[in-house]
Amino acid sequence: MTIYSIMPMELVFEGIHQERGPYVSVQVGDVRLQLEAVSPGIGRIVRLLDGPLDAYLRPELTPGTMVAYGPTTP
């Protein structure tokens, strides 16, 4: 991979080795989401794991959006 940037390498790669999470997998309707837990019951969408193709175009499911979720039962 080649990166062309006028920014110093330290800024470009800042935080690359930091571990993020914890992640939660949640089913919302017909879409399975991966959320980063921000606080109890609230998460930030990291990515869509599974769902119909048109779900990827829904603005309320874009990565970075905050959503409320309930406790999951196995």
Predicted local distance difference test score (pLDDT) of residue 74: 45
The answer, yes or no, to whether residue 58 has pLDDT greater than 50, is yes
The answer, yes or no, to whether residue 72 has pLDDT greater than 80, is no
Tokens of 66: 């905050």
Provide the whole-model pTM. 0.69
pLDDT tens digit sequence for 4-18: 889 998 888 887 787
The answer, yes or no, to whether residue 28 has pLDDT greater than 70, is yes
